[in-house]
């Protein structure tokens, strides 16, 4: 189904950088990333988790490198994964150099806490030598002491001043292959900082509400904060920060992008909350279909509506639709047009068959 003009979001045009094989910024798709929570030195478990994150639809994966053994573990890890790895570095410049030399595609650093000019130069040289990009990661919880003293507390102006200071450090060293984030756990602070930063620079921005919390509150906070910025046309890559399985971060990230028609991947299900009018068990049906169709990556829209109040209208705007009817007789819609009646007993298998058929048609068209 075509996307109507009023649903378009005009993205701010930013510079394009490379994170391994993934292009960030410009007209490139907004990428989704997560971060492993295994011990990086446990190479086997880290590889397993990276592959799980990628299977869910991640474009990038971040890995923490707190010590030498962790940063050097990247050499073996990157041999067994097919996704760019971002090394998360704090304070020790040697970890950044080791990560760049052992397969990282990007270094997440805060140049302000790396050390003196010579150390920063060595990190940037290692990044250049190994084709590494950099993310300048400004966080409300770890602002520079003098900036905090100036502004008294974390605020949008403080985060932006820190970002601009760090941008200048890289630019003065003729390094331009970088993106920036100005994160906070406060939704309003994050939105304000990103809006201000977007007005004064054209480097790609990595969006996130940091330390957002557990699955439900964290997903809601992230959806509000990141969604608001994306609606403004701001953002080139996103991460949902949850105290939960990293795979769930990718699910939420992709759902945010799908909801805003910024990226379509897999089956987008429109379903009603169900009520006494439903002709079949909507909630159970949707859960089963989500599992059975989770392997599909081609964009498909599917409506599952329990009765005829909104069913025909929703079905008219989706690739495939089911509307509940009386006595277990439900109507199947294909490309918005009534096709045939389907019994509740056969409905799930029929929907799966039609979705797979539609995917095959799209791939061959």
CATH classification of 10-259 is 1.20.1250.20, yes or no? no
* Domain regions of the chain by residue span: 10-259, 267-364
Rounded Cα distance between 128 and 169, Å, is 15
8 A C-beta contact, residue 82 and residue 54: yes
Q: Give the pLDDT of residue 2.
A: 47
Distance CA(3)–CA(270), nearest Å, equals: 15
Return d(Cα 136, Cα 197) in angstroms, integer. 13
Question: Where do we find the tokens 């502004």?
Answer: 151
Please name the helix (run of DSSP H) or strand (run of DSSP E) that holds residue 88, with its range, or none: strand 85-88
What are 334's strand-pairing partners?
320, 337
Q: Within 13 Å of residue 307, how many CA atoms lie on the same side as its CB?
A: 8
CA separation for the pair 212, 337 (Å, rounded): 43
Q: Does domain 267-364 have CATH number 3.30.413.10?
A: yes
Residue 133: closest CA among 79, 96, 83: 96
Q: Order the strands of the 133-139 sheet from edge to edge.
A: 178-183, 133-139, 106-109, 85-88, 60-64, 31-35, 237-239, 206-207
Q: What is the SS3 assignment for 135?
A: strand
Query: Per-residue confidence of the chain (365 residues) as pLDDT tens digits?
Result: 444 555 678 999 999 999 999 999 999 999 999 999 999 999 999 999 999 999 999 999 999 999 999 999 999 999 999 999 999 998 789 999 999 999 999 999 876 677 777 888 899 999 999 999 999 999 998 888 899 999 999 999 999 999 999 999 999 999 999 999 999 999 999 999 999 999 999 999 999 999 999 999 999 999 999 999 999 999 999 999 999 999 999 999 999 999 998 988 889 999 999 999 999 999 999 999 999 999 898 999 999 999 999 999 999 999 999 999 888 899 999 999 999 999 999 999 999 999 999 999 998 87
The pLDDT score that the predictor gives to residue 265 is 84
Q: What is the Cα–Cα distance from 271 to 283, expressed in whole angstroms?
A: 8
**Helices of type H across 102-232:** 117-129, 145-151, 156-172, 187-200, 215-231
Query: How far is it, in rounded angstroms, from Cα 286 to Cα 290?
Result: 6
Taking the chain, what is the end-to-end CA distance rounded to the nearest angstrom? 15
Both tokens assigned to 233: 């046309």
Count CB neighbours of 329 within 10 A.
13
* Four-CA torsion 53, 54, 59, 61, nearest 10 degrees: 50
């Amino acid at each position: 189904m075509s996307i109507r003009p009023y649903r378009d979001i005009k993205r701010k045009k930013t510079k394009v950088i490379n994170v391994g094989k993934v292009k960030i910024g410009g007209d490139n798709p907004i990428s989704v990333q997560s971060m492993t929570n295994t011990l990086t030195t446990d190479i086997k478990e880290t590889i397993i988790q990276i592959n799980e994150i990628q299977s869910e639809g991640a474009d990038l994966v971040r890995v923490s490198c707190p010590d030498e053994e962790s940063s050097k573990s990247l050499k073996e890890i990157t041999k067994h994964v097919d996704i760019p790895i971002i090394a998360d570095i704090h304070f020790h410049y040697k970890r950044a150099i080791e990560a760049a030399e052992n397969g990282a595609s990007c270094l997440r650093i805060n140049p302000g806490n790396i050390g003196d000019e010579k150390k920063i130069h060595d990190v940037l040289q290692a990044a250049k030598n190994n084709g590494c990009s950099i993310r300048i990661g400004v966080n409300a919880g770890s602002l520079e002491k003098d900036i905090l003293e100036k502004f008294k507390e974390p605020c949008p102006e403080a985060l932006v001043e820190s970002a601009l200071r760090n941008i200048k450090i890289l630019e003065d060293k003729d390094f331009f292959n970088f993106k920036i984030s100005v994160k906070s756990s406060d939704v309003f602070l994050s939105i304000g900082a990103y809006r201000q930063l977007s007005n004064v620079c054209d480097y790609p921005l990595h969006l996130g509400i940091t330390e957002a919390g557990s699955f439900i509150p964290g997903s809601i906070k992230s959806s509000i904060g990141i969604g608001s910025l994306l609606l403004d046309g701001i953002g080139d890559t996103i991460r949902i920060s949850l105290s939960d399985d990293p795979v769930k971060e990718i699910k939420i990230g992709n759902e945010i992008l799908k909801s805003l028609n910024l990226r379509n991947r897999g089956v987008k299900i429109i379903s009603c909350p169900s009520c006494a009018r439903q002709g079949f068990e909507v909630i159970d049906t949707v859960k089963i279909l989500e599992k059975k169709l989770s392997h599909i990556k081609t964009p498909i829209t599917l409506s599952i509506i329990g009765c005829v109040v909104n069913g025909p209208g929703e079905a008219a705007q989706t690739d495939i639709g089911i509307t509940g009817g009386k006595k277990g007789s439900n109507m199947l819609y294909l490309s918005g047009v009534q096709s045939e009646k389907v019994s509740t007993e056969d409905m799930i298998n029929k929907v799966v068959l039609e979705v797979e058929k539609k995917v095959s048609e799209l791939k061959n068209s």
